[in-house]
Amino acid sequence: MRKKIVAGNWKMNLDYNEGLSLFSEIINMIKDEVTGKQEAIVCSPFIHLHSLAQLAKGYNKISLGAQNAHQAESGAYTGEISAKMIRSVGVAYVILGHSERRQYFGETNELLAKKTDTALKNELKPIFCIGETLQEREANKHFDVIKSQMAEGVFHLDAAQFGKLVIAYEPVWAIGTGVTASSAQAQEIHAFIRKEIAAKYSQQVADDTTILYGGSCNPTNAPELFAQPDIDGGLIGGASLKSRDFVDILKVFN
């Protein structure tokens, strides 16, 4: 059975102390309120990760993720952070291919394929983000965009490597806009993604892959989205900065 996951993406928010206190609140609420087998992942800025990993030690319902990692193993890349460094502080996941990185930092499918390889080599599990822009949806190109993001970004992996990924479908027009994809729109794409995975690998690999929805997800719309057969949780931006909202979203799987 595939895992149910709710991952928070803090983006470039919260200073060190603010981040620590939000994380402590989240841990305490999870301890008291989360009763199912769902996993919470907090993807904080790099600066917080080591301390958050100390706070999370010995607690198996919450894991940590970075929001990016460099494609090279190490070297003269001033200002960058390697997958090995991230892994060395006890972080399990890394978001790759978020639309903000594609848009503002020019990350291409080709570059993301390299980042995926380096992350996996260093035992970091990628949360690989895909999704179409509004323009692409309006031009009815959304299935083609998703198909090529998967084909060029992750379908070079073998089945065992692919099995370590979490896929996040995030329509760009729904991120941070307050406009959510309807549960039917999201389910349609999730089913398509799973079908592509089955065609590339096998039905078993497809059935085992966790596919998250992201884009203005909140405690009000999460129950309907997560009730769809191919939606296995969420990647949460804005609402992950409020402990109550984040844990309420997580509790949809109680």
Active-site residue list: 98, 170
CB nearer ligand PEP, residue 146 or residue 239:
239
Q: At what angle do helices 243-250 and 16-33 cross, to 10 degrees?
A: 40
CB nearer ligand PEP, residue 19 or residue 238:
238
Residue number, nearest CB to ligand PEP? 237
Q: Kindly give, in sequence order, each residue whose CB lies less than 8 Å from that of residue 178, ignoring residues fewer than 6 positions away.
A: 216
Least Å distance between CB 73 and ligand PEP? 27
CB nearer ligand PEP, residue 170 or residue 230:
170
User: For the chain, first and last CA: distance in Å?
Assistant: 16
Binding site for ligand PEP (CB under 6 A): 9, 170, 175-176, 214-217, 235-239
Using the structure block, give the residue that is written with the tokens 């003269």: 76
CA gap 43, 66 in Å, rounded: 5
CA gap 68, 102 in Å, rounded: 11
Least Å distance between CB 187 and ligand PEP? 17
Written as one letter, the residue type at 159 is: A
Least Å distance between CB 198 and ligand PEP? 25
